[in-house]
């Protein structure tokens, strides 16, 4: 079967309608996204029609030998796993050069974002300039390691590095890096993120609303207007998870109209 694209309304892009596979209304959203990824892969020979049909029939048991080819749209690294990856890429380029080949052919096939966040330490505190002083000390302490990462960011077209001080990888991914919907070669599709750490940063929430202002997520994901105090184990903690049981901190003058039906 040949899967075809259709124009995406009000855009110059196209997409692969899942109706070509059959009735998938019973499938969880995550599996629909995987099916769509396999349909796109099938256009270039990266997935078979039998594999697509097997996943589309979930939860029915798949046939023997069925597989789910998974190729993320983007890889998110933090510095613990990102530094070894950058060193491996550098080693492969050196090997390619020694073999008489073109080192620039060594390139991540999947775009990579590396966020430096786990090594930041608080050496200074209690003053207005602690951020700048801690960041300066951070570069002094890890100059050699950051030099390698800066080289990687400049040497590879598909390797981006977010320097220290920008925030933790979860926050940076949510607010700066994620596109939710990617467009490549004119085709729009859901973003699939491969993350090298426990607790991947979620982007979409399913029908959670703020009980105070009625705003539906993910519209206000990670908005500090919605950070709420909670009591946990006898102590107060702060959470950005807005559910019908919590209240946001929006003042009455800042209330937003409900956004239902998402």
Report the distance separating Cα 54 and Cα 34, nearest Å.
12
pLDDT at 257 over 60: no
> What is the crossing angle of helices 130-141 and 143-155, to 10°?
80
For 48-102, the pLDDT digits (tens) are 999 999 999 998 988 888 888 888 999 999 888 888 999 999 999 999 999 999 9
What's domain 74-180+190-195's architecture?
Answer: 2-Layer Sandwich (3.30)
Spatial separation of the C-alpha atoms in residues 194 and 76, rounded to whole Å: 6
For helices 143-155 and 79-98, give the axis angle rounded to 10 degrees.
Answer: 60
Could you tell me the residue ranges of all domains in the chain?
Answer: 6-56, 74-180+190-195, 205-262
**Mean confidence (pLDDT) of the chain:** 77
Q: What is the model's pTM?
A: 0.69
Per-residue pLDDT tens over the stretch 228-255: 444 445 544 434 333 333 344 444 444 4
Starting at the edge strand found earlier in the chain, the sheet holding 74-78 runs 159-162, 112-115, 74-78, 193-195
Count of H-run helices and E-run strands, the chain: 6, 10
Model confidence pLDDT, tens digit, residues 163-195: 888 888 888 888 888 888 999 999 999 988 888
- pLDDT at 200 > cutoff 80: no
Tokens of 98: 């020694």
Rounded to whole angstroms, how far apart are CA atoms 169 and 12?
32
Is the confidence at residue 104, as pLDDT, over 50? yes
Which of 176, 68, 177 has the alpha carbon at shortest distance from 112? 177
């Amino acid at each position: 079967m040949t899967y075809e694209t259709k124009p995406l309304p009000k855009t110059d892009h196209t997409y692969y309608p899942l109706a070509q596979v059959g009735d998938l209304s019973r499938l969880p959203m995550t599996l629909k996204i995987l099916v769509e990824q396999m349909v796109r892969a099938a256009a270039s020979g990266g997935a078979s029609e039998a594999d697509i049909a097997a996943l589309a029939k979930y939860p029915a048991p798949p046939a023997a030998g069925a597989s789910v080819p998974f190729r993320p749209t983007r890889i998110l690294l933090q510095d613990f796993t990102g530094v070894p990856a950058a060193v491996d890429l550098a080693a492969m380029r050196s090997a390619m050069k020694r073999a008489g080949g073109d080192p620039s052919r060594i390139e991540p096939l999947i775009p990579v974002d590396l966020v430096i966040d786990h090594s930041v330490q608080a050496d200074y505190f209690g003053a207005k300039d602690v951020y700048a002083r801690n960041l300066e000390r951070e570069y002094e302490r890890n100059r050699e390691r950051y030099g390698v990462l800066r080289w990687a960011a400049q040497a590879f077209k598909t390797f981006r590095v977010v320097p220290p001080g920008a925030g933790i990888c979860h926050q940076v991914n949510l607010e700066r890096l994620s596109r939710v919907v990617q467009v490549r070669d004119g085709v729009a599709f859901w973003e699939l993120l491969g993350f090298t750490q426990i607790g991947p940063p979620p982007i979409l929430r399913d029908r959670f609303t703020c009980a105070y202002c009625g705003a539906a997520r993910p519209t206000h994901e990670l908005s500090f207007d919605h950070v709420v105090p909670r009591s946990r184990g006898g102590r107060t903690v702060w959470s950005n998870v807005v559910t019908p049981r919590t209240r946001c901190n929006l003042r009455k003058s800042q209330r937003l109209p409900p956004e239902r039906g998402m």
